[in-house]
Each structure stands twice: as C-alpha cells, then as structure tokens.
C-alpha cells in the first residue's frame, strides 16, 4: 500500500522575499475579532465570542497557552510577504521558508539568542492554538484550524538555525490572497508594546478608514470584543490612560459620555496624511460619527482628550487642567 504524500510534499516552497522595510499587511478578520490573548502571561482560558452572526472559539494547550497578539507578528510577516509577492507577479504558497533573522528584523525585534528562542515559542503557540469559527463559512458551517499547520527549524550542528519552514492554514492563506480582506498597518505598529494597545489599533484601523469626521465605540462593547480577562473597570481605566497618552499611530482617541454611557471615540490625526491603501470599505458595525464638520457635539456629552503625541504621560496629565479642553466625567 503506497504511502499518502504529506501536505509538505504537495506544496511548492515560497522563499521569503528580502526587505525589512516591506509594507505591513494584516488580514481584516484578524483585526476585527478576538483571536489572540492580549496578555504576555500564559492564557489557557478559552476565548469565546458570539455577535452579529459570528461565532468564535479560541483554545490553547496547558503547555503553551493561547497564541498572543505578539505571536501574531509572524502572521503579519507572512501576510506582508504573500501580498508583496502576489503584487509583483511572483508565485506564492502556504509553505513558506525564511531565516529567523529575517522574521525578527521585519518585526523590529532584536536578533540575539533570547529573541530567537522567543520566536520558537511563538511558533509553538501558533501551531498548538486551535480556532473554531463561522467567519467566511456558508450557512451554519464551522471551520477549525491552527494558525500554523506545522513548522520546522533546520538547525546546524553548532546550534545555529539555517532557516525555518512553516505551513499556513487554508483559512488564513485564502483571506490574505483576497485583496479586499487585507489592510496596510502603520509602520510604527511594532513599537506598540501593550497588548490592549495593539489590539485596539488593529480594531480602529479595521473600522476607521477615511472617516475624517471620526467614529466611536461603546466601551462595554469594546470590552466584550477584546476577549480580555481583565475586570471591566481595569480595562476601562487602561483605555482612559491610553487616551491621556495619545498612544495610537495615526489616530487621536477621546473619551465621550452620553448620559451614563461611556464611548471611546477616534478621529484621524490631522498631522497624518491618509493614504489610499490605508482605507477600508463600509464599516460593518454600527459606529456613531463624532467630530462632525460643523463641530457640533451630541447633547449632554462630555469628553476626555489627551495631550500631544510624543509627550510623556506626565506632560499629558499636566495639561489636564481647567481651560485646556479636557473635561472629566
């Protein structure tokens, strides 16, 4: 009886393209839903999300835990490589090969032994994390996959890596190959160190597009959509601190209150020129417009804004004084 060929044997090899300054691309589905743990500590509690006809369950194993939003840097690298090659007319494949150095440099990380071991740990979590979702499935069908089907590290006798090969799942690869399902990220994305900051930027980037008048999210809805294990009060406090720091590339966040409802609002940073390839289509969820051209506010609303981008939290807090436009609820 003949041996059935493995998935690796059936796929052509896509060798990663050179270039540390390649545009960052991300799959819109990964930006819109809670696929990743936002904590650096090991998470084994499953992520479950259901809303608007979308069902999502993410599970990890005790040994590795659920893949984190920092592990997702590998998927951003893969998406960027695939889109770049496709746009250049080069063949692509779910079987990818690169050196650890290339992946780490793309993600703006160091290239020492510590970072190399962290990359291996990321690949383990990406492979051992399982996702069950209805996204992009017909009817009531569900699709289960891992972020990486398998991976290999070719190690020399002296312990140095000659290169890594990995196989991406069909679900991820087909989404990246559809140009309508991919967006470009700000080049400074990798400088965001907090898990919530990274998650929120991706979510805002997904829904923001060219909406120059701004948009806003119900804070409690954001909490449910984050999949965070934090208490709601701690989550909300974190976002208020983010507003004071103005730590969101390309956007200026603010807190607004309408009655007893707290909203996190955003508008594009006037100092950042919107590029055509940074736009999105129609917003898929009900997001209220704010900062209208007339400058009108919703009746009874109050706002918290932060200081200038690039200033320290202390400087921003110092500006939170009467007469500077910052009003606390």
The token pair at 59 is: 């599970």
Residues forming a β-bridge with 253: 266
- Say if CB 69 and CB 39 are below 8 A apart: no
pTM: 0.81
Give pLDDT tens digits for 173-212.
999 999 889 999 999 999 999 999 999 999 999 987 656 7
> Rounded to whole angstroms, how far apart are CA atoms 236 and 279?
28
Looking at every residue in the chain, the average pLDDT score rounds to 82
pLDDT score of 123:
98
Same domain, 51 and 140: yes
Same domain, 257 and 164: no
Residue whose C-alpha is closest to residue 197's, from 160, 235, 165, 149 = 235
Same domain, 133 and 201: no
16 part of a folded domain: yes
Angle at the Cα of 188 from the Cα atoms of 104 and 324, rounded to 5 degrees:
150
Instruction: Specify the DSSP class assigned to residue 62.
Output: T
161 part of a folded domain: yes
Give pLDDT tens digits for 26-56.
999 999 999 999 999 999 999 999 988 899 9
pLDDT score of 290:
33
327 part of a folded domain: no
pLDDT at residue 307 greater than cutoff 60: no
Same domain, 74 and 139: yes
pLDDT score of 323:
28
Which has more confidence, 107 or 307?
107
- Residue 215: pLDDT band (50, 70, 90) is confident
The token pair at 76 is: 């951003």
pLDDT score of 306:
44
Q: Which residues contact 215 (CB under 8 A, 6 or more apart)?
A: 207, 208, 265, 266, 267, 283, 287, 288, 289, 290
Please give the residue range of the domain that contains residue 309.
193-319
> Rounded to whole angstroms, how far apart are CA atoms 106 and 101?
8
Residue whose C-alpha is closest to residue 72's, from 84, 61, 80, 62 = 80
Grouping H, G, I as helix, E, B as strand and the rest as coil, residue 73 is helix
The secondary element (H helix, E strand) that includes residue 106 is helix 100-106
Same domain, 143 and 216: no
Cα–Cα separations (whole angstroms), residue 102 to 105, 161, 166, 240: 5, 12, 14, 36
Domain count, the chain: 2
């Amino acid at each position: 009886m003949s041996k059935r060929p493995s998935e690796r044997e059936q796929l052509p090899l896509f060798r990663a393209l050179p270039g540390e300054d390649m545009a960052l691309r991300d799959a819109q589905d990964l930006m819109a839903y809670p696929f990743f743990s936002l904590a650096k500590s090991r998470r084994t509690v499953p992520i479950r999300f259901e809303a608007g006809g979308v069902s999502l369950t993410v599970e990890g194993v005790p040994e590795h835990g659920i893949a984190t939003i920092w592990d997702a840097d590998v998927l951003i690298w893969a998406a960027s490589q695939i889109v770049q090659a496709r746009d250049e007319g080069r063949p692509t494949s779910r079987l990818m090969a690169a050196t650890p150095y290339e992946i780490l440099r793309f993600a703006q990380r160091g290239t020492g032994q510590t970072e190399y071991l962290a990359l291996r740990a990321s690949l383990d979590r990406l492979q051992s994390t399982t996702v069950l979702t209805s996204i992009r499935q017909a009817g009531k069908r569900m699709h289960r996959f891992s972020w990486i089907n398998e991976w290999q590290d070719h190690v020399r006798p002296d312990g140095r890596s000659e290169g890594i090969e990995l196989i991406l799942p069909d679900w991820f690869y087909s989404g990246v190959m559809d140009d309508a399902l991919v967006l470009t990220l700000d080049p400074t994305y990798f400088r965001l160190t907090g898990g919530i900051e990274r998650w929120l930027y991706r979510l805002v980037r997904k829904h923001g597009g060219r909406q120059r008048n701004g948009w806003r999210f119900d804070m409690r809805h954001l909490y449910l959509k984050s999949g965070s294990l934090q208490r709601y009060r701690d989550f909300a406090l974190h976002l208020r601190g983010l507003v004071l720091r103005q730590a969101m590339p390309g956007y200026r966040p603010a807190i607004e209150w309408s009655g007893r409802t707290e909203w996190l609002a955003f508008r594009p940073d006037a100092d950042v020129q919107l590029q055509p390839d940074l736009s999105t289509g129609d917003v898929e969820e009900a997001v209220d417009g704010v900062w209208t051209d007339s400058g009108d506010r919703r009746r009874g609303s109050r706002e918290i804004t932060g200081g200038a981008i690039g200033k320290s939290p202390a400087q921003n807090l110092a500006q939170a004084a009467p007469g500077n436009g910052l009003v606390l609820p």
